Amino acid sequence: MVLTDTIRIEAPFYDIRGKHDEQYNIVVPNGIELTLYAGFPGSPLNGGRPNALFGDVRANDPSSRRAIQQDFLEAIPVLNKQGIAVYMAYTNYFCDPEFLEDLEFSKSVQTLARTQPTNDLRNGIIVANHNTEKRVRELGEGEIDVALSCTAFFNKDMPEVSFFDSRRQLIDLEERARIYQKAAKKYDHVFLIPSDSHNLELQDLLKDKSDFSVLVNSRCGKECDSYNHYADDNVRNILLCADLSPTRRRDYEIFQENFKFRMHYCLGIDSTTLQRDTGNLLKQGFRNFKIGRMKSRWPMSGTNIGKEDLQTVLHAIEKWRRGK
Predicted pLDDT of residue 294: 53
Give the contacts of 77 (CB within 8 A, at least 6 positions apart).
Answer: 115
pLDDT exceeds cutoff 90 at 45: yes
Predicted pLDDT of residue 265: 57
Predicted pLDDT of residue 27: 73
pLDDT exceeds cutoff 70 at 58: no
Predicted pLDDT of residue 72: 87
Provide the pLDDT confidence category of residue 230 given band limits of 50, 70 and 90: confident
Beta bridge partners, 214, equal 289
Q: What percent of the chain has pLDDT over 90?
A: 51
Evaluate whether 286 touches 313 at the Cβ level (below 8 Å).
no
pLDDT exceeds cutoff 70 at 57: no
pLDDT digits (tens, 9 = 90+) for 121-134: 899 999 999 999 99
Predicted pLDDT of residue 19: 46
Domain boundaries, the chain: 7-323
**Strand, helix or coil at 83?**
coil
Least trusted range by pLDDT, from 43-47, 52-56, 264-268: 52-56
Least trusted range by pLDDT, from 22-31, 228-237, 249-258: 22-31
pLDDT exceeds cutoff 50 at 51: no
pLDDT digits (tens, 9 = 90+) for 288-320: 999 987 543 433 344 445 678 888 999 999 999
* pLDDT greater at residue 294 or residue 284: 284
CA dist., res. 245 & res. 251, Å (int)? 10
Provide the pLDDT confidence category of residue 248 given band limits of 50, 70 and 90: very high
pLDDT exceeds cutoff 60 at 245: yes
The angle subtended at Cα 140 by Cα 146 and Cα 6, nearest 5°, is 45
**Strand, helix or coil at 189?**
strand
How far CA 265 is from CA of 176, 218, 261, 295, in Å, comes to: 24, 10, 12, 7
Most confident of 42-51, 56-65, 176-185, 209-218: 176-185
Predicted pLDDT of residue 120: 84
CA dist., res. 193 & res. 172, Å (int)? 14
Predicted pLDDT of residue 138: 97
Predicted pLDDT of residue 47: 87
Predicted pLDDT of residue 222: 59
Average pLDDT over residues 225-246: 88
* pLDDT greater at residue 251 or residue 78: 251
Radius of gyration over every alpha carbon of the chain, rounded to an integer in angstroms: 19
Determine whether 239 is exposed, middle or buried from the number of CB atoms within 10 Å of its CB (0-12, 13-18, 19+): middle
Q: Among candidates 113, 119, 114, which has minimal Cα distance to 84?
A: 119
* pLDDT greater at residue 271 or residue 132: 132
pLDDT exceeds cutoff 60 at 18: no
